[in-house]
Structure 1
Amino acid sequence: MRAGQLYVGDELVDPERIYRVAGSDWELDSYGGYTDPAWELKPTYDMPTILPEALEAYVTLQKRISLPVMGRLG
C-alpha cells in the first residue's frame, strides 16, 4: 500500500489480473486495514494448519540452546 493504492513490487495491481497471495484473514479482509472494501476482494482461505500449531511443531523440533545469564532475576 502506498498513498492509498495497492502495489505488487513496483507495479500497481492490475484489476484484470488474478493474483495468488498468502496472508491471514486479518490482512486480506477489510477489518485488518490492508484492503479497501471498494476493491470487492473475494479471498478464499486454505487452512490445513492453524498457525499456533505450526509454530509449536517448529519450536518442538529445534535443538535446545543455553544462553548465558547476564544478570540476576528478582
Structure 2
Amino acid sequence: MSRLLLSTLVVVVVIVVVVVVVVVVVGVVGVGVVVVVKVVAAAVVEENDYVWKNGNHAEKTYLFLVTNTLT
C-alpha cells in the first residue's frame, strides 16, 4: 500500500514540475515576443514620423498608401 502511495506521489510531483517548467518557458518566450514586437513597432513609428516631416512627396505618398492599406 505504501509503495503505491509513494509511486503515485512521485508521479504527481513530476507532473507538477513539468507543468510549472512549461508555464515558465512559455511565459518567458511570450514576454520576449512582446518586447521584440514593441521595439519593432517603435522603430517603424519613428521612421514614419521622420518621413512625414522630412520626406519628399513620393515617400509621403508611399507611406500614406502603405499605412492606409495595412490598417
TM superposition score normalised by structure 1: 0.21
Q: Whose relative contact order is higher, 1 or 2, with alpha carbons under 8 Å and at least 6 apart?
A: 2
* Largest Rg, 1 or 2: 2
Higher strand share: 1
Query: What TM-score does the superposition give when structure 2 sets the normalisation length?
Result: 0.21
Choose between structure 1 and 2: higher helix proportion. 2
